Amino acid sequence: MFEKVLIANRGEIALRIHRACREMGIHTVAVHSTADADAMHVRLADESVCIGPPPAKDSYLNIPAILTAAAITGADAIHPGIGFMSENANFAEMVEQHGFTFIGPTPEHIRIMGDKVTAKQTVKAHGLPTVPGSDGALKDLDDAKKNAADIGYPVLIKAAAGGGGKGMKVARDAAGLEEAYTLARGEARAAFGNDEVYMEKYLEKPRHIEVQLLGDTHGNAVHFGERDCSIQRRHQKVIEEAPSPGLNADERVQIGELAAKVIRKIGYRGVGTIEFLYEQGKFYFIEMNTRLQIEHTITEMVTGIDLVREQIRVAAGLPLSYTQKDITFSGHAIECRINAENPETFAPSPGKIVGYHPPGGLDVRVDSALYDGYRVPPHYDSMIAKLVVHGTNRNECLLRLRRALEEFVIGGIDTTLPLHRRLIAEPDFINGDYDIHWLEHYLEKK
């Protein structure tokens, strides 16, 4: 097992990884920008190294600085966390070339799944159902027109290098196609430096269902059931739950086993998530994330398994500690992502925390790097806390979540706590009756 792991990230996820390492007897090295010198991940780690100024491109995305920090502290392995370097195949390659272990999949698997066109072709060849769409990237506008006529409107133009919902535009009819195609390409070029786009049928009422997976270097792969992440704003998840209120037990096992088979066949190492849209009893693959997910917490709550610990173990070459039949599901879990944003306008709200009281009690988990007096910097993602609640069933989970949201105090800045309090009281949410467009419609109506 590793003796020392460098955590190339910040905020709650850096803390989450630190906690797993600590329980495994592994020393941790935090890296941080000058804006994060007082951050909790720096305070709790055994050692820390400042890797640059506040902009992420000069610090958390600065490969030479991260590798140098690992070398001078004598780390054995680097955990990239979520976002930043976690899906950068070149980084994974350089980490290994410099003699460290990358806690994640091989660079080759990151590359295949990072390009959504190749990813779709790969999983399709292994038997996963995909959204009807163009066969690969679109060559030009004429090609887009031809494909749209075949697929049928509405269609969605998506960036091959996509992520975070960027470079995605809907065309409702032939008249709107040119604009959607041009806008999606422009956005993709600006965000990813790659304007390759492809086309999919735009599904009108799907749920977002994803399967948590884990594979080792000994040919084993298991699934940990599904998560429903349909409550989204601008294609970004806001609330997630496990299990999905929209699936039955048979569908759960079926899609879990199908997804696990794919990663077993490709020899995938580490944690990963295969995402599907689900409509009228059918699953359609949309993408695979080759890293830990923010919402891994709800899977941990219903399985009792520490996924970060498993991720570290397989990176160290150990076989999985669980077979599929050891993984059992108990009760229901929901996560609310709390952002430093105005709950009405969603304008970012960085600043000093004045008064902080996280909720507690049975089956309540708060993953956050906040503390009273902490200053939320303006430079990074606005998510500042995850409230994760478990109950023996969905109803108990909802009652507990309501109670926990009432208790939660984050003073001094605007947060999306009031929005969450409203959302979980909505009859549609209580009934589990929602799809990926529900939240946008709800926000428009107000």
CA atoms within 13 A on the CB side of 257: 8
Contacts of 326 (CB under 8 A, 6+ apart): none
Cα 118 → chain centroid = 20
Q: Which amino acid is at 10?
A: R
Site for ligand ADP, residues 217 to 236, rule: CB under 6 A: 232, 235
Nearest distance, CB of residue 137 and ligand ADP, angstroms: 15
**With binding defined as CB under 6 A, does residue 202 bind ligand ADP?**
yes
Cα-trace Rg, the chain: 21
**With binding defined as CB under 6 A, does residue 45 bind ligand ADP?**
no
Question: Is the Cβ of residue 20 or residue 203 nearer to ligand ADP in the bound state?
Answer: 203
CA atoms within 13 A on the CB side of 88: 19
- The 3-state DSSP class for residue 220 equals coil
Residue 256 buriedness (CB in 10 A; 0-12 / 13-18 / 19+):
buried
Query: Near ligand ADP by CB under 6 A, which window of 9-17, 195-203, 404-412, 414-422?
Result: 195-203
Question: Is the Cβ of residue 101 or residue 134 nearer to ligand ADP in the bound state?
Answer: 134
Question: Is the Cβ of residue 119 or residue 424 nearer to ligand ADP in the bound state?
Answer: 119
Site for ligand ADP, residues 233 to 262, rule: CB under 6 A: 235
Phi, psi of 124 (to 5 degrees): -65, -45
**With binding defined as CB under 6 A, does residue 286 bind ligand ADP?**
yes
Size of the site for ligand ADP (CB under 6 A): 18
Nearest distance, CB of residue 291 and ligand ADP, angstroms: 12
Question: Judging by DSSP bridges, how do beta strands 155-159 and 168-171 pair with one another?
Answer: antiparallel
**With binding defined as CB under 6 A, does residue 113 bind ligand ADP?**
no
Residue from 131, 260, 387, 404 in contact with ligand ADP (CB under 6 A): 131
Query: Near ligand ADP by CB under 6 A, which window of 60-68, 141-149, 187-195, 201-209?
Result: 201-209
Contacts of 338 (CB under 8 A, 6+ apart): 368, 383, 384, 385, 386, 387, 408, 410, 415, 416, 417, 420
Residue 28 buriedness (CB in 10 A; 0-12 / 13-18 / 19+):
buried
Beta bridge mates, 352: 375
DSSP string, 251-273: HHHHHHHHHHHHHHHHT--EEEE
Query: Near ligand ADP by CB under 6 A, which window of 10-18, 60-68, 119-127, 159-167?
Result: 159-167
Please say if 403 is a catalytic residue.
no
**With binding defined as CB under 6 A, does residue 210 bind ligand ADP?**
no
Nearest distance, CB of residue 334 and ligand ADP, angstroms: 18
Nearest distance, CB of residue 130 and ligand ADP, angstroms: 10
**With binding defined as CB under 6 A, does residue 290 bind ligand ADP?**
no
Question: Is the Cβ of residue 235 or residue 402 nearer to ligand ADP in the bound state?
Answer: 235
Residues at the site binding ligand ADP, with contacts judged by CB under 6 A: 131, 156, 162-165, 200-203, 208, 232, 235, 275, 277, 286-287, 436
